[in-house]
A and B are shown apart, each in its own frame.
Chain A
Amino acid sequence: MSAEHGTGTVATALGTLAPGFRDFLVGAGIVVVAGTVLLVLSRRASPTHRRQAALVGRYLLLVVLAVIVLFPLYITVVDSLLQPDQVVAKPPILFPTHPQWSSYATAWTQGHLGRYLLNSFVVTGVIVVGELVTSIAAAYAFAFLRFPFRKTLFVVFLATMMVPVEVTFLTNLNTVVSLGWYNTYFGLTIPFLATGFGAFLVRQAFLGLPGDLRDAAELDGANHWQFLREVALPVARPAVAALGIFSFFSAFGQYLWPLIVTKDDRLRTVTIGLKFLANSQLNNFNVIFAGTVLAALPLFILLVVFEKQLVRGLTAGAVKG
């Protein structure tokens, strides 16, 4: 495509955007350019100035990136508090002057989100705990125990990561049905209790364990359980936490599997509930947004709570004393 054509496309694309959003994009672009310029210029300035300019430049970039990430979340909350017709107003309303908190009540009661969320929590909770337990146990075996065909088995474990979900979908369904788990919490959770990915992730963390630590533990007469609990797990905490969060997010966000292995509303999860809500409140955009916020809230809370743990875990040294 010619350069001319390319510019034309960008201009057309910008032209079709809502004015507010266009201004936002242009503004963000300017700040990014300014930040980059500062960073580049800072290389030529005196050391003190250089540090300050680099700091300002870095913050400018980070602010823009943060705004880009947070803006969709912000606008979701704002739209949930507007009147239905204000949601489609042009230019878009970016701050609710008369917040309509009732949309949350409507979403909660009419969308039956309580029931759906409870199901999601039960299912997600079981999957996260189960996946962590099986992953840690398998990883421990692969990392620290000697047994025949260890490497072969591990490769088989890894191979399961290469199999697309589509391939195992119907087979899993067949299994679940033949075990009589159709339309039960078993069917919703058990297929996800063990993953090759989880075992792999934790095993890699265990392998990073310095030999000194293992020798020290063995000299102290620690058995497997003690070694796992006192030494290996604390070291592997970042990996375990990451796995837990990853597992939570993917379990919580499931749509197709819960839809297919459940019969009716009794066991359906919040992702399905949200779909129903969106279909039933077509004129009330604010209620749909409110439902989305309610359904996403647990994920936010989780992230906020575990974010520190994750960072602390990552920076903690393995060999300290």
Chain B
Amino acid sequence: MRNGTGPSTRTGGRRRSRCPHAVLAAAAVLATSGVTALGAVGPSAVAGAATAPPSTKVVPSACGLSALAKARQPVQITMWHTMTQTNNTWLQNSVKHFNGMQHQVHVNLVQQPDYPSEFVKYKAGLTSGDLPTLAQFEDTTVQQLVDSHSTVPVQDCIAASHYKTNDYLPRALAFYRYHGVQQSMPWSVSNVIMYYNPIDFQKAGLNPNKPPQTFAQVTADSKKIVAAHAATHGIALPAKPYVFEFLLAKSGGEYVNNGNGRKARATQANLTSPTAMKVWNWWNQLLTSHLALATGSDPNNIDHLIAIATGNAAMTFEASGVIGPAEAVLASGQYPGVQIRTAPLPALATGGGVPVGDGSLWISAHASLAQRAAAWKLIAYLDSPEQQASLAAEGGYVPIRRSATKLPVLVQRWTSDPNYEVGYTQLTTGTLSNANIGSLIGDYQGVRNAVADGLEQMVANKMSPKKAAAFAENEANTAIENYNSRIGAN
């Protein structure tokens, strides 16, 4: 995945900005309040462009297929992305190949530092006019982008080109759908999985091929691991909001009300629901009984992964994308007796599912009709089974097409290193429900900050789970209400 910390980068700058400079404080405000820029410019900013189609109606002509056929070729388009390391190299090569194999479209790639910076730049672009033709945005931005009316729903292109989506994983498409209309195409997706050291399991007399599947099993296994001195703690629990989100989703709990924002705009967080309380209580119980090691909430914090390497914990949770870096660090030989294996996340009970996380591709409504169609052509190429298989084999991304998993490059990868397959397996299990479809929240970051604060109150200040959950819910509700009132939605 992008920079190896997976969804961590999605969370971006916390409100308590680490950077002292005033302009960065502005960044934090823009990033967290979200709509400051959008609220100011919003739909009116699109007026100059070839008009934005509505987000909840399908307008095939807005995709511009016929305009592309008539346009002077090649049509130049710009794509913003946040791919780093080997994924960046992969993308460069893939796009070079695309530019070479046809002469209708020419793609210029522009790399942005990370998701939050990219999104702030995009929002400022609604003012400055410097906008990409298409961009890779993280999952948390769906509601804001829909509210901005600055993008063309890809459903217009799907309809215009009679594009078949039945090969896609339903979950991958579902997150980026809004009231039945596909807004963006999934592309670089991942999800949170469990990482564990099978050697610690062996030492504790546990079957290393049967990692725990439920919260109760995690607790029981942790007790054995600690008792046998296989590791200092059973599990390292990073206080990162997206980890909490995935555990809640897989346990069947909705993050916000109105069906996770799917039936109607979310107006309240569901952080004190019975299911959510079970997650809070379990988390707290592991910590107070010293079965778990608490690590930080900072998005870039990797103490929980290092804890596995140093024997401080036998299990932890993190995005599927860090498999590569994690294996690379362990392969350095610095940590003998440590192996890394991955497994699906545990939950309250078995049978749950998780949403996708990470990147999808959005087409800008500011682009000309021909450019929109050109962007769609690139999206269809990047989402093709061949490219998906190749990208998934490269890093820790999960292929979004079933047929991609049959292709030799990926079959080979998964056979030689089964760790890479777990994210896919997890994404294809469990029934799709509003709990695990992915939440639609305007100020998503504000809700995440609230969850991180709640976890910190519980971990560091010994607040009871009940109080911590109420504390977080209160803060999250304020964030949601503020956003909704700013855009005039309540």
Contact = CB atoms under 8 A, between A and B. Distances in A.
Interface string B287-302: 0000000100000000
A101 to B, nearest CB: 20
B23 A279 contact: no
Interface stretch (B47-55, B113-121, B194-202, B432-440): B113-121
B21 A275 contact: no
A142 B121 CA distance: 38
Interface stretch (A207-215, A258-266, A291-299, A311-319): A258-266
A280 B128 contact: no
A256 B329 contact: no
B36 A166 contact: yes
Nearest to B300: A278
B167 interface: no
B127 A282 contact: no
A305 interface: no
Interface residues of B, number: 48
A283 interface: yes
A260 B329 contact: no
A284 B84 CA distance: 14
B19 A255 contact: yes
A253 interface: yes
Contacts of B333: 85
Contacts of B461: 9
Interface stretch (B1-9, B260-268, B352-360, B364-372): B1-9
Given A85-B329, A170-B124, A263 B23 contact: no
Contacts of A177: 127-129
B26 A275 contact: no
B181 interface: no
A16 B111 CA distance: 37
A289 B63 CA distance: 46
Given A169-B30, A255-B21, A279 B130 contact: no
B22 A165 contact: yes
Interface in A147-189: 164-166, 169-170, 173-174, 176-177, 182-183
B23 A275 contact: no
A177 to B, nearest CB: 5
A193 interface: no
B88 interface: yes
Interface string A1-27: 000010011001100100000000000
B193 to A, nearest CB: 18
Contacts of A183: 130
Contacts of B489: none
Nearest to B293: A16
Contacts of A102: none
B422 interface: no
B306 A88 contact: yes
Contacts of A13: 460
A263 B114 contact: no
B23 A254 contact: yes
Given A9-B462, A257-B23, A279 B127 contact: no
Which of A264, A272, A282 is packed against the most chain B CB atoms within 10 Å?
A282
Contact of B23 (A12, A256, A264, A282): A256
Given A9-B461, A182-B128, A264-B110, A283 B26 contact: no
Interface string B35-47: 0110011000000
B397 to A, nearest CB: 15
Interface in B399-449: none
A71 interface: no
Contacts of B332: 84-85
A219 B460 CA distance: 69
A9 B460 contact: yes
A170 B130 contact: no
Given A259-B113, A263-B110, A165 B127 contact: no
Interface in B304-338: 306, 309-310, 325, 328-329, 332-334
B113 A272 contact: yes
Contacts of B310: 90
Interface string A88-104: 11100000000000000
B22 A260 contact: no
Nearest to B84: A279
A88 to B, nearest CB: 5
Contact of A279 (B37, B114, B309): B114
A13 B462 CA distance: 12
B121 A255 contact: no
Which of A88, A261, A263, A272 is packed against the most chain B CB atoms within 10 Å?
A88
Contacts of A88: 306, 309, 329
B169 interface: no
A257 B120 CA distance: 10
A169 B31 CA distance: 13
B113 A170 contact: no
A134 B320 CA distance: 53
A166 B29 contact: yes
A169 B29 CA distance: 11
A252 B26 CA distance: 16
A282 B113 contact: no
Given A165-B26, A279-B2, A279-B85, A250 B21 contact: yes
Contacts of B25: 165-166
Contacts of B117: 255-256, 259, 275
B3 A282 contact: yes
A300 interface: no
Contacts of B114: 275, 279
Which of B124, B294, B328, B333 is packed against the most chain A CB atoms within 10 Å?
B124
A74 interface: no
A122 to B, nearest CB: 18
A276 interface: yes
B462 A5 contact: yes
A280 B88 contact: yes
A109 B24 CA distance: 27
B26 A169 contact: yes
B36 A260 contact: no
Nearest to B306: A88
Contact of A280 (B19, B85, B121): B85
A139 to B, nearest CB: 22
Which of B4, B23, B84, B333 is packed against the most chain A CB atoms within 10 Å?
B23
Q: Which 9 residue pairs of A and B lie closest in terms of their CB atoms, listed nearest first?
A: A85-B334, A256-B27, A275-B113, A282-B4, A279-B3, A279-B84, A85-B332, A260-B124, A165-B26
Interface of A: 5, 8-9, 12-13, 16, 84-86, 88-90, 164-166, 169-170, 173-174, 176-177, 182-183, 250, 253-257, 259-261, 263-264, 272, 275-276, 278-283
14 contacts: A5-B462, A9-B460, A13-B460, A84-B332, A166-B30, A173-B128, A250-B21, A255-B117, A256-B26, A275-B113, A275-B114, A279-B3, A279-B113, A282-B4
Interface of B: 2-5, 19-27, 29-30, 36-37, 40-41, 84-85, 88, 110-111, 113-114, 117, 120-121, 124-125, 127-130, 294, 306, 309-310, 325, 328-329, 332-334, 460-462
Given A86-B334, A283-B325, 12 more contacts: A164-B26, A166-B26, A170-B41, A250-B21, A254-B21, A255-B19, A255-B23, A256-B26, A256-B27, A281-B85, A282-B85, A282-B325
